[in-house]
Every structure is written in structure tokens, then in C-alpha cells.
């Protein structure tokens, strides 16, 4: 529709450049207390009053209970002849939070956002500093003049402070004392809490002014089609008139902007979707970079690192700066709003441009629209035997077996191209003190490579035995140090053997053997649940029963299930 003049200003139907935001939750304006602009307050029960106090006041606290769940205090002040909130102190279930424009302290310690601890979450959301407490409290501050506090209905009739008693009945207890009606200044002064050495002066009542002349703009704007009709505008018209009456700015229209903004916010709490009522001549709002201001946008901003944040948002819309439709906020390069296709990605602290990528032994990843698209690559697996009893399978299932025999560590299930045998023996005074005694690699045809540690010997040995010469094309032996041996085969198998101070082994298999192995190292199929598969194909539930099926000598004693800490049984401890 065409615009219509209003006291020298013209309102034009706004053209939305951001997606229409749907109401995410039902009307809850009866659970919201607020303060804004030139010392205006609205209680939970809907009373709107002006209280120009500059001291520290209880905004809202949990009263009448044995334990105080929350206590929110604030101090207002003036900067450049403009009223604003300068400090907020919150006590939430034992946690003390202090908020100023420059810092956020939790229990006296400076914190960075987002912050989460003990059921309290603090973040920047749209244009607000937001505190959410699991106990049932949401606090929002634009770090200027506006504060909103929303409580769970369970606190009805249990609050006190400038926000009132949350009874659902306007002017029930708030402005009455022993049957005598209190003025807003008298009511506000009752909520003051001075510091230990502070003596803050109460505001002095001043004679009311005649604010009628020249204030017709308030009723015309607040009753216009730009605002919703879900909230009674009369209290806000009165607040707007007070703003104009007390205005000391050259541009008097700027004095009513906070009240217009508050009425718009109350609209969203009532379940409405306010239109973009600001314009070049009425409360213009600037945004950083290429963002745009809207009265109703999702508080869950879509970003390069979280491009679908708004789709999962359950909060109602808020006023603030938002990205144009089809773009997301670049929280990686900090370049403003960009198409998602231009988003970079981050890996290990490094930034990658769209289309760039990185590769590891097992994955190949490419950056696309701020996300990593990774392709799984055939990946080797490693099995280890540490401390003579502690096993980790190719699929990284960990278990402990105190054996006293020779066991099959790994072999192809269908064939005998190679077999890795490990000999575990008792090496202490108890059954739970075992050591890896020797390791044998059998390559078929009687060819073996073995590593052995003699009891009490400081000189570990290794040897090659075969019915025929060992084919160097099948296995290469390398000794990088006195106590370390590496056996590299062309069968997709590598052994890394530590001989001292304790014998330990790492068995590494190539990806071509995935799902084809048997033994104490498991079946290498990326599924830990079936690693305890026995020689007969049955999956055991206990490590001891599983290990007993892979003995190579039937005469050896079976491993027993142990539920004791072996270290507590050692005489050395």
C-alpha cells in the first residue's frame, strides 16, 4: 500500500529482505519483565512505570523460599545524557555472574563466550548478551538500555524486586503497602541494595509536567499498522509521552525510539511478528559490514560453521542485525555475510578455501560450503601386545589376558600365508604377572622369523630359521637399535618388536587384509563387537574364553577370568 504521512514522517510498507520468521513458541508475555529507555520498567504482571534510580536495585529475586534460586540486580546510569544499564549482577544457584559492557565475570574470573558451566549458558545471540539458566531463567541485555528477564511459571508468586511478585494480577502487591498505594519512586526505593561502604542517594520526586502538547506522535505511531495489536499500547503511549516530555536532545524523535523498540519486543513475546518499522527518519539503525536490521529475525544465526542453526532454533524472533536472504555470517574469515558456497573450513587451526582439502592415511577431505566432505580411504590397522598381558585389536578393542602358552596373534582365516605367534609366560610370583617371552612369524614352507628374550638375560636375541632360504622378497628385517626389530613383508604385514626393557609388539596390517584375519588381534572389520571370534566362528563374551581357543599347545593351562587388580597382588607394590 502507499505510504501515509505522520507528523512530518512517511511510513512505507517494508520490503522484507530476510526470510519470514515463524513464531516458535506460544505467547509468554506474562512471564517477561523488562527495563528500557529513560528508566522505564514493566513488571511480570504488566505494570509499566518510570523509576529514575541510579543505585543498585534488585531487578528480580526468588523470595519466600528456604533456598534462593536466583537474584538479579542491576544499576542504571547516564552516559552522554542517555540512560542505560551499566552493570548487572546475577546469583544463579550459587554462581555469581557480573556483567558490564566491557567484561563478563563468573565467580570473579574473566570468561570468554560462549560459556557453559553448572547449568548456566552465556552467549551472544543476535544483538543481545544472553544468559540461560537450567533452573528456568532467560536473561537478555543489549548492552545498552534494554534488559529482558523471562522466568519459568513455577516461580509464580515467589518473586520480589522491581519486576514484582509474578502473581498475574497487576497492582496487587507491588504498589500497595499496608493498604496504602505507593508511588513508583517509593516502590523502587524499597528495592535498593547498597554495597558495604556505599550510601547511594534515592531519587527525589519531582512535580509532574504537562506532557500532553506535542506528544500525539506517540499514539499515532504505536497504533499504526506497523505494530501488532496483541499488546495493549496504552502504557507504552504514556511512556513515550514521558520520553518526549523529558527529552533534552535536539532531535526529539530519537527520544521515543527505545519505547517503540520495547513495544516491538513485547509484540514478539505475545506471539506476534512485528514489521520493520524503522526508517531513515524514524529511529534508523545501522549494522556492521553488509548486515541488515530487522525487527523479527531468528536469534540463531546461520554461520559458515553452522549453516542450519536457524532451522533448529526454538526461540522466538528478536530484533537485530541479520544477513540478507541467501547468505550466512562468515564466522571464520569475519568478512560479513557471504553465500554459503564461499565459506571456508578449518582443520587443526588452519583455514582452507572452498575446494581445498587435506588427506590422512584413512581419509581424503574437501572443503565445501563451510563443511568437510570426507571420503574414507582403505586404512591400515595396528594390533599391540603391551606389558605381557594388555591387548589392543586391529579394531581398537582393548582387553587383558594373563596367559601361559603360545597363542595365534594374527593369521589369514582362509590360508596360512603368514601366522604371527606370541608366547606369554609367567614371570612373577602370581598368575597375573606375565610377560611376552617370544614372537614368531611363520611364512609357510617351514620358514620362520623369531624374536626371543631369555629369562634373566640382558641380551635379547632374534634369529631366522627355515627349511629353505628365507626369500628376501617376502620379508625384510631391520634393526634400527639394539633393542628394536622391524620385520617388513610384501604380504601386507609389518612387525615392530621391542625387545627391552620389556618385550612388546605392534602388528600392522594393510587395508587389503580387512575382514580376513583371525586370532587374538581380532578380525579387522571395523567392528569391535565381534573381535572375540573363536577358531570355530563363535563370538565369546569373555576375553579369557576367547584367548583359550587360540592356544597352539593343548597341554597349556587355560586362562582364568580374573576380576582383581593384578598390580595390587604384586609383592613389588
What is the rounded end-to-end Cα distance, in angstroms, of the chain? 88
Q: How far is CA 295 from the centre of its chain?
A: 27
CA distances (Å), origin 134, targets 69, 93, 150, 151: 11, 10, 12, 11
Separation CA 293–CA 279 (nearest Å): 10
Residue among 555, 558, 556 at smallest CA distance from 547: 558
Cα angle 350, 323, 372; round to 5: 30
Q: What is the pLDDT of residues 431-452, one digit of tens each?
A: 888 999 999 998 876 677 777 7
Which DSSP symbol is given to 317? P
- Strand residues in 377-460 grouped as ranges (E): 381-386, 390-392, 398-400, 405-412, 419-426, 434-442, 448-452
Q: Which residues contact 379 (CB under 8 A, 6 or more apart)?
A: 361, 362, 511
The b/e string for 299-337 (b: 16+ C-beta within 10 A; e otherwise) is: bbbbbbbbbebbeebebbbbbbbbbeeebbbbebeeeeb
Cis peptide before 114 (omega within 30 of 0): yes
Separation CA 50–CA 41 (nearest Å): 6
Separation CA 474–CA 462 (nearest Å): 18
Which DSSP symbol is given to 261? H
Separation CA 181–CA 172 (nearest Å): 10
Residue among 79, 91, 169 at smallest CA distance from 131: 91
pTM of the predicted model, to two decimals?
A: 0.67
Helices and strands of the chain, counted as H and E runs: 6, 41
- Strand residues in 317-368 grouped as ranges (E): 318-322, 328-330, 336-338, 345-347, 350-352, 357-359, 363-368
**Is residue 230 classed as helix, strand or coil in its secondary structure?**
coil
Separation CA 168–CA 318 (nearest Å): 24
Q: Are strands 448-452 and 48-50 parallel, antiparallel or unpaired?
A: unpaired
Ramachandran class of 94: left when φ > 0, alpha when ψ lies in -120 to 50, beta otherwise: left
- One digit per residue, the tens of pLDDT, for the chain of length 573 reads 333 344 444 444 443 443 444 444 555 667 999 999 999 999 999 999 999 999 999 999 999 888 999 999 999 999 888 899 999 999 999 999 999 999 999 999 999 999 999 999 999 887 899 999 999 999 999 999 999 999 999 999 999 999 999 998 876 667 877 778 889 999 999 999 988 888 899 998 887 777 666 678 888 888 887 777 788 999 999 999 999 888 887 788 889 999 999 999 999 888 888 889 998 988 999 999 999 999 999 988 999 999 998 888 888 889 999 999 999 999 999 999 999 999 999 999 999 999 999 998 788 999 999 999 999 888 899 999 999 999 999 999 999 999 999 999 999 998 888 999 999 999 888 888 899 999 999 887 667 777 776 544 434 455 544 434 455 547 888 888 888 889 999 888 999 999 888 899 999 999 999 999 999 999 999 899 999 999 888 999 999 999 999 999 999 999 987 655 555 555 554
Transcribe 204-216 into DSSP letters: PP-PPP---TT-H
Helix pair 257-269, 234-245: axis angle to 10 deg: 160
Say how many residues make up the chain.
573
What is the pLDDT, as a whole number, of residue 27? Answer: 56
Q: Taking the C-alpha atoms of 358, 364, 370 and 371 in order, what is their torsion angle to the nearest 10 degrees?
A: -140
Q: What is the pLDDT of residues 157-211, one digit of tens each?
A: 999 999 999 998 876 667 877 778 889 999 999 999 988 888 899 998 887 777 6
Q: Which residues contact 179 (CB under 8 A, 6 or more apart)?
A: none
Residue among 358, 354, 353, 357 at smallest CA distance from 368: 354
Residue among 484, 396, 513, 491 at smallest CA distance from 441: 491
- Strand residues in 179-248 grouped as ranges (E): 180-181
Amino acid at each position: 500500500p502507499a505510504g501515509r504521512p505522520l507528523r512530518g514522517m512517511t511510513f512505507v510498507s517494508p520490503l522484507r529482505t530476510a526470510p519470514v520468521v515463524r513464531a516458535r513458541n506460544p505467547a509468554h508475555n506474562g512471564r517477561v519483565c523488562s527495563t528500557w529507555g529513560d528508566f522505564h520498567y514493566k513488571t511480570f504482571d504488566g505494570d509499566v512505570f518510570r523509576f529514575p534510580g541510579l543505585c543498585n536495585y534488585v531487578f528480580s529475586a526468588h523470595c519466600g523460599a528456604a533456598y534462593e534460586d536466583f537474584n538479579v540486580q542491576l544499576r542504571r546510569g547516564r552516559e552522554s545524557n542517555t540512560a542505560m544499564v551499566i552493570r548487572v549482577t546475577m546469583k544463579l544457584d550459587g554462581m555469581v555472574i557480573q556483567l558490564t559492557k566491557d567484561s563478563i565475570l563468573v565467580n570473579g574470573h574473566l570468561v570468554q563466550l560462549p560459556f557453559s558451566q553448572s547449568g548456566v549458558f552465556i552467549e551472544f545471540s543476535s544483538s543481545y548478551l544472553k544468559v540461560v539458566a537450567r533452573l528456568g531463567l532467560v536473561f537478555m541485555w543489549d548492552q545498552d538500555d534494554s534488559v529482558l528477564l523471562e522466568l519459568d511459571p513455577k516461580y509464580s508468586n515467589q518473586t520480589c524486586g522491581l519486576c514484582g511478585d509474578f502473581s498475574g494480577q497487576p497492582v496487587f502487591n507491588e504498589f500497595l503497602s499496608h493498604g496504602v498505594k505507593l508511588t513508583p519512586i517509593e516502590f523502587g526505593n524499597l528495592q535498593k541494595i547498597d554495597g558495604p561502604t556505599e550510601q547511594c542517594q534515592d531519587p527525589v520526586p519531582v512535580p509532574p509536567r504537562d506532557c500532553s502538547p506535542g506528544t500525539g506522535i506517540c499514539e499515532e505511531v504505536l497504533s499504526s499498522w506497523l505494530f501488532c495489536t496483541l499488546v495493549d499500547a496504552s502504557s507504552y503511549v504514556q511512556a513515550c509521552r514521558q520520553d518526549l516530555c523529558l527529552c533534552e536532545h535536539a532531535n526529539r524523535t530519537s527520544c521515543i525510539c527505545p519505547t517503540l523498540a520495547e513495544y516491538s519486543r513485547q509484540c514478539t513475546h505475545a506471539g506476534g511478528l512485528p514489521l520493520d518499522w524503522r526508517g531513515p527518519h524514524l529511529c534508523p539503525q545501522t549494522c556492521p559490514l553488509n548486515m541488515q536490521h530487522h525487527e523479527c529475525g531468528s536469534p540463531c544465526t546461520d554461520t559458515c560453521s553452522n549453516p542450519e542453526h536457524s532451522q533448529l532454533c526454538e526461540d522466538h524472533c528478536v530484533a537485530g542485525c541479520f544477513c540478507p536472504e541467501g547468505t550466512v555470517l562468515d564466522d571464520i574469515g569475519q568478512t560479513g555475510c557471504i553465500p554459503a558456497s564461499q565459506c571456508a573450513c578449518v582443520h587443526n587451526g588452519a583455514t582452507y578455501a572452498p575446494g581445498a582439502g587435506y588427506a590422512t592415511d584413512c581419509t581424503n577431505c574437501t572443503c565445501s560450503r563451510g563443511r568437510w566432505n570426507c571420503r574414507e580411504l582403505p586404512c591400515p590397522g595396528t594390533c599391540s601386545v603391551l606389558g605381557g598381558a594388555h591387548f589392543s585389536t586391529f579394531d581398537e578393542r582393548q582387553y587383558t589376558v594373563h596367559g601361559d602358552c603360545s597363542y595365534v596373534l594374527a593369521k589369514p582365516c582362509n590360508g596360512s600365508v603368514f601366522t604371527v605367534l606370541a608366547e606369554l609366560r609367567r614371570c612373577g610370583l602370581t598368575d597375573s604377572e606375565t610377560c611376552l617371552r617370544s614372537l614368531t612369524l611363520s611364512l609357510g614352507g617351514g620358514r620362520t622369523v623369531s624374536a626371543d628374550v631369555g629369562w634373566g638375560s640382558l641380551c635379547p636375541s632374534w634369529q631366522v630359521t627355515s627349511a629353505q632360504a628365507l626369500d628376501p622378497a617376502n620379508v625384510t628385517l631391520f634393526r634400527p637399535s639394539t633393542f628394536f626389530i622391524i620385520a617388513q613383508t610384501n604380504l601386507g604385514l609389518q612387525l615392530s618388536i621391542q625387545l627391552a626393557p620389556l618385550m612388546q609388539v605392534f602388528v600392522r596390517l594393510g587395508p587389503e587384509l580387512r575382514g580376513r584375519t583371525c586370532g587374538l588381534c581380532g578380525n579387522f572389520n571395523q567392528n569391535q563387537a565381534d573381535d572375540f571370534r573363536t577358531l570355530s566362528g563363535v563370538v565369546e563374551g569373555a576375553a579369557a574364553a576367547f584367548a583359550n581357543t587360540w592356544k597352539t599347545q593343548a597341554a597349556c593351562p587355560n586362562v582364568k577370568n580374573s576380576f582383581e587388580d593384578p598390580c595390587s597382588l604384586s609383592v613389588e607394590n
